Amino acid sequence: MSSIKENYKSKVKAYQPKPPYVTNCVKAFLVGGFICLVGQVIQNLYMYFFDFDEKTAGNPTVATLILISALLTGFGIYDRIGQFAGAGSAVPVTGFANSMTSAALEHKSEGFVLGVSPNMFKLAGSVIVFGVVAAYIVGIIRFAFEKIM
Q: Which SS3 state, helix, strand or coil, does residue 19 take?
A: coil
Phi, psi of 42 (to 5 degrees): -65, -40
User: Quick one: pLDDT at residue 1?
Assistant: 55
pTM: 0.71
**What residue numbers bound the domain in which 83 lies?**
1-110
Answer whether residue 134 is part of any domain: no
**Spatial distance between the Cα atoms of 38 and 34, rounded to a whole number of angstroms:** 6
Answer whether residue 10 is part of any domain: yes
- How many structural domains is the chain composed of? 1
Answer whether residue 61 is part of any domain: yes
The 10s digit of each residue's pLDDT in 124-147 is 677 777 888 899 999 999 999 888
